[in-house]
Chains A and B, each alone.
Chain A
Amino acid sequence: MTEAHHHHDDHHHHPELGWWRKYVFSTDHKVIGVQYTVTALLFLLFGFTLVMIMRWQLAYPGKPIPLIGGLLGKTLANDGTLLPEGYNALGAMHGTIMVFLGIVPLIVGGFGNYVMPLQIGAPDMAFPKLNMASYWVYFCGGMVMLLSFFAPGGAANSGWTSYAPLSVVATQGQTWWLFGMVLLITSSLLGSINFIVTIIQLRAKGLDFFKLPFFVWSQFVTAFLLLLAFPPLEAAGALQLMDRLAGTSFFMPEGLVVSGIVQPYTGGGSPLLWQHLFWFLAHPEVYVLILPAMGMVAEVIANNTRKPLWGYRLMVYSVIFLGFMSFIVWAHHMFITGMGTRISAFFATTTMIISIPSVIILTALVISLYRSSIRYNVPMLFALAFLPMFAIGGLTGLPLGLPAADIQLHDTYYVIGHFHYVVAPGTIFAAFAGIYHWYPKVTGRTMNPALGKIHFVLSFIFINVVFMPMFFQGMAGVSRRLFDQTFYQHGLDVQGWTQLSSWGAWMLGLSQVPFIMNFFMSLRAGRKVSDNPWEATTLEWAAPSPPPHGNFATVPVVYRGPYEYSVPGQKKDFFPQHLAKAEA
């Protein structure tokens, strides 16, 4: 089938490529998408492993880590017991890896690269070589981050936020972290330009902006966020490197005395400047983490409700508005730095405003279920679970966005619970939905639904066991990033919740075994399926599975909106975008 299509491929001539050019240094957006997906999934697993190690220390402080304690290096552990500096390094690297090496590459680099060009009917990305460069720069950034564990003093240990002055006086790992970040940011910038140009220039004939699948819209807005928000952090990273290596003092005030030694910094730098530059990136970054997830959930929900999305245009306007607003809320991460009433009121107001489009998108997705016909397959289970989980994540942002309530809750476990609900059972569940949904497109086979359901049920239970207790800890006043919370009475009194949360994390780790098995076994053993197994309407399902280089046998023309399901008077309950007339 694939071969036959290949011969019809008349708009591109592809000479036979060698193995290296075909599978490693490929310029095909699909190969790059798969490379991104696999690399990012490995990093997610690695980042999760780091936190599973940390959770032992949190649950049973000072006790040697079973099984793998002895394997940890001298900078992390002593005789199998985690060191405070090891804990801080694992914490900083967990955050960095999950955000910059795991989730963003997965949902933007992976899904965005693979699915978006197919959904707009393009043969490839606008700049295939740039696309390849973007992956390999990301790969190098990841390697630098991994190697930083072997730097003298271990990996960066000043938190993923790298607040100065702590990060400036930190061990050498921080320099590695900054170099790694510069590479990762560069990769994102290359990718974002490519996404924007591709979506504007390479849409199939007839595919207006308001006929784009919502996923493409989410990638489009995300690309602008990456393009506009990352340069300030790249600059800030360079400045911090200068502070560390060249003796400048951008972030270092005068008169610092570290461990009894007067520091040579003069000129009156400001540690708050770093925070402003960092959060100017990192708040839009939060939306980079969630918008593509909403896009994937919208695709899966539309497909499995067999009904057009409710409020498609409203959702598009909301996602654009979210993108704009995400640039003027950053200082709500900094209420406790000594902000006056007016500035805090301003940032609290923008924060309340930005909650409205999120509420609209979530409400639209829930209303989409009304009078639908819900097909409970594995991708749909994950997409449905996303809704209440993201709701918890979003709602718990409310007390944090109110400055007066934030006084008590800032930098406690409440914050950890809040953003993990957004990103873990939120974004990661959306990514699972995406993986189960598009796996047949990539491989021509489906993943095993029974294993998928086991994976779903266990993950859903245990991810809540992990994160729900964090709200209780946070309310009790336990600060984040504590190597041993039992030093405090309020930490000791909620230690039971910490232990429950740890057990949840380890069980959640085990719950991924069926997924990993399924992911690899289905490559060979999965049931072979047609090009459009979910009976979907969007263009990627018009291409063969797996799509050949150049994607479409014939260039598709688009006749209608993305979610024409259950159109009255039609025999079939789906009406693909590229068909001029309904099939008999």
Chain B
Amino acid sequence: MQVKKSWILLAVIAAALVASAAPAWAQAVAPKTTVPIDGEYGRFFSLPTDVSKNGHRIDNLIHWTHAFMAVLFVGWGIFFVYCLMRFRQRPGHQAHYELVHAKPSKYLEVAVLIVEIVLLAGFSVPIWASVKNDLPPADKAFRVRVVAEQFAWNFHYPGPDGQFGRTDPKLVDTATNPLGLDREGDPHAKDDIFALELHIPVNQPVICDISSKDVIHSFFLPVMRVKQDALPGMRIPVWFEAVQTGTYEVACAQLCGNNHYSMRALMYIQPATDLEAWLREKGKPPEEFVE
């Protein structure tokens, strides 16, 4: 009897400790950005808004996997709690030396294996193949080069000629030419556009070629279900297609140094006409602004 009382007391103390801390949690933190971000993020145990064509396939896989996990955990849990209550030590109760032949456990293990095979071969592998490997034809897609550096995302658009100009690390100048574009030597580089924002069209496949100038970063578009490490020395393409316009975030998902936490860019998903206007504006030679 005494034991039980002390346990209840303990639970009350624990609850009181949690409750006493409650007002402190409520301290709101002011947003650091002035640009309003679209989408919903804070829903309980939920993925953020999905604005991509392929995202729902990944979301479904995550949801089905969690449903499977929940079934396993609850099933185990019921048996576990039943055993804890039913087989507690008490006068007149003895353990059985003989071990049960637990056929159900074999079925369970086979079932786990089968479900895992289905999740992997039936869903994960095909999704991976289409979102990571099967790039859309280059002439149909909107192409951007994404060059990561400590601590910014550089976006490189090919300009009206549709060709990316040559870049050279030796030409890099943090203030005037962060990409190291060879504007003098390469005619394709003349019309190339550089920006610190990602602007992409809605309802058109986008191919981003991801690379890095210095350390490893990771290009993460939470609302697009896209993540790809940016590795120095490699250029890796990823593709996606937005189905909704709006302003969203580009995050860095790989620790890249002191200001990793602030390596954030904005992604504007726009109708094709708006995007063209923005590119035209951006592509004007800088002299015009000076004069």
Contact = CB atoms under 8 A, between A and B. Distances in A.
Partners in one complex: yes
A477 B45 CA distance: 11
A484 B124 contact: no
A169 interface: yes
A328 interface: no
The bracket for how many chain B residues form the interface is 35 or more
B87 A371 contact: yes
A140 interface: no
Contacts of B39: 489
A305 interface: yes
A471 B45 contact: yes
A318 to B, nearest CB: 10
B215 A165 contact: yes
Contacts of A461: 14, 18
A226 B60 CA distance: 39
Contact of B255 (A88, A308, A403, A471): A88
B166 interface: no
Given A310-B102, A336-B218, A490 B249 contact: yes
Interface string A454-493: 1001100110010000011001110111111111111011
Interface string B36-61: 01010111111110000000011101
Contacts of A546: none
B138 interface: no
B47 A404 contact: no
B232 A271 contact: yes
Given A256-B232, A487-B33, A404 B127 contact: yes
B278 interface: no
A311 B105 CA distance: 11
B236 A338 contact: yes
B208 interface: no
B29 A495 contact: yes
Contacts, number: 344
A294 B83 CA distance: 20
B106 to A, nearest CB: 10
Interface of B, helix, strand, loop or mixed by DSSP: mixed
Interface stretch (A129-137, A182-190, A361-369): A361-369
Contacts of B227: 336, 407-408, 410-411
Nearest to B231: A271
Given A405-B61, A411-B254, A486-B32, A476 B41 contact: yes
Contact of A359 (B17, B33, B109): B109
A371 B172 CA distance: 72
Interface stretch (A111-119, A144-152, A564-572): A564-572
A85 B251 contact: no
Given A256-B213, A410-B253, A486-B32, A370 B83 contact: yes
Interface string B95-109: 111011010010011
Contacts of B125: 341, 345, 348, 403-404
A412 interface: yes
A56 to B, nearest CB: 11
B25 A499 contact: yes
Among B18, B112, B128, residue most surrounded by chain A Cβ atoms (within 10 Å): B128
A360 B109 contact: yes
Nearest to A168: B215
A479 B17 contact: no
B95 A256 contact: no
Interface string A252-280: 01111111101000001011100000000
A307 B96 contact: yes
B228 A336 contact: yes
Contact of A165 (B7, B112, B214): B214
Contacts of A84: 258-261
Contacts of B116: 352, 355, 398
A472 B109 contact: no
Nearest to A462: B14
B45 A475 contact: yes
A384 B80 CA distance: 9
Among B57, B213, B233, residue most surrounded by chain A Cβ atoms (within 10 Å): B233
Among A165, A409, A500, residue most surrounded by chain B Cβ atoms (within 10 Å): A165
Which 4 pairs between the two chains have the least Cβ-Cβ distance?
Answer: A253-B233, A493-B42, A477-B222, A369-B83
8 contacts: A60-B27, A169-B214, A262-B169, A310-B99, A363-B109, A373-B93, A479-B218, A488-B251
